[in-house]
Amino acid sequence: MLFQGLLQAWETSRKKMISSGVNVSKLSITLTLLLCLGQIPVYATHAAENIVIEEHSKVVTSDATTNDPGQVEIWSSYSLQGGKFAWKSNGSREKRGTYLTQTFDSQVTIGLYEGVDIGIIQWYQHTLDKNNNYNEFRDMMDPDTGSSMEDETEGPTHGFGWGDLGIAGRWRFYDSAEKRLEIAYMPTIFVPTGRRSNLDHIGASQGYTSLDNSFAFTKDIGRWNGTINLGFNSPLAHWERTGHYYGTAHSNFAVGYQVLSWLQPEAEFIYLHDFGGHGATANLASVVLGFIMPFGDHFRLELGVQQDVFGSNKVQTTSGIFSFALLT
């Protein structure tokens, strides 16, 4: 009945406009275009509201979404990283000895309260570095000459062992369902429990305690979702023990697109800046391309490739990353 009434009203108006000399064809086209343009944003809005982002996780970047209270996540990863080039302090690239590491990472995270979880991090690493030189005379002075003592030995070139113990927290202090935005503070402390380097082997431990303070911003826009990490890693030790290393400022930018409920291609950009003296200042920028694949609510796969693209005082590497997570 409503549709018939509209047709009758249109026919009456059309006859009046014809008698008045109005071009009905042009007016009809104009009204049709306006109607279509008016419907497009409405349809897009309704479609976006019905989309549910299945997973915020990324291959490297940490998201702001916390585990539910009592929920446990067991995450495990294998990465193969290698390279034969390095950047000098001026940014020029040179060939170096083979660098190759295999790392097995694991993290167990449990939700404590709404918006708060805590995780335990551990890893095991095997390293081959044909340019490595353990300097047992670092920061030592020659009593005869008064100058720094020189290390005339080479190596070791390989080693393996457990890395340091990490304890990570995450507090999501902002969560807006209307804006689809989450913000979290993520402190992580690393305790030097791993195997250290010496004249016989390359260790996986950094040899001192460090504290990382980071913030994560996670945002959903339709099928797109993105996360930004901003943070600083500080060594909690004297500069003599850290080799004049004073800390690292780091930033991650990640974006993913939910193609299917179980498939999310994603890309990341990572930048690190090391502060230090005696040649310890360095820069590194990397890109990551990967796939996040949640199969249901209790299992997730993560596949990615990370490529260093420019830097200074850093080894240029390519990494393949395979991870999976089990959730209660």
For the four alpha carbons of 127, 128, 130 and 135, in that order, the dihedral sign comes to positive
Residue 7 pLDDT: 43
Residue 183 pLDDT: 98
What is the mean pLDDT of the segment spanning 50-78?
91
Residue 259 pLDDT: 95
Q: Give the separation between CA 114 and CA 92, rounded to whole angstroms.
A: 49
- Model confidence at 68, pLDDT cuts 50, 70, 90, reads very high
Q: Where does residue 271 rank: exposed (0-12), middle (13-18), buried (19+ CB within 10 A)?
A: middle
Residue 136 pLDDT: 54
User: pLDDT per residue over 262-272, tens digit each?
Assistant: 999 999 999 99
Residue 251 pLDDT: 98
Residue 239 pLDDT: 87
Upstream peptide bond of 156 is cis (omega within 30 degrees of 0): yes
Q: What is the pTM (predicted TM-score) of this model? A: 0.80
Give the residue, 189 or 7, on which the prediction is more confident: 189
User: pLDDT per residue over 86-111, tens digit each?
Assistant: 999 999 999 999 999 999 999 999 99
CA 259: distance to chain centroid? Answer: 20
Q: Which long-range contacts (CB under 8 A, 24 or more apart) does 205-210 make?
A: 205/161, 205/162, 205/163, 205/164, 206/164, 206/235, 207/241, 208/235, 208/236, 208/237, 208/241, 208/242, 209/235, 209/236, 209/237, 210/234, 210/235, 210/236, 210/237
User: pLDDT per residue over 196-247, tens digit each?
Assistant: 988 889 999 999 999 999 999 999 999 999 999 999 999 999 988 898 999 9
Select from 267, 264, 266 the least CA-distant residue to 300: 264
Across the chain, mean pLDDT equals: 85
Cβ atoms of 227 and 217 closer than 8 Å: yes
- Would you say domain 53-327 falls under CATH 2.40.160.40? yes
Residue 41 pLDDT: 37
Residue 213 pLDDT: 98
Cβ atoms of 181 and 217 closer than 8 Å: yes
pLDDT at 56 over 80: yes
Residue 243 pLDDT: 86
Amino acid at 104: F
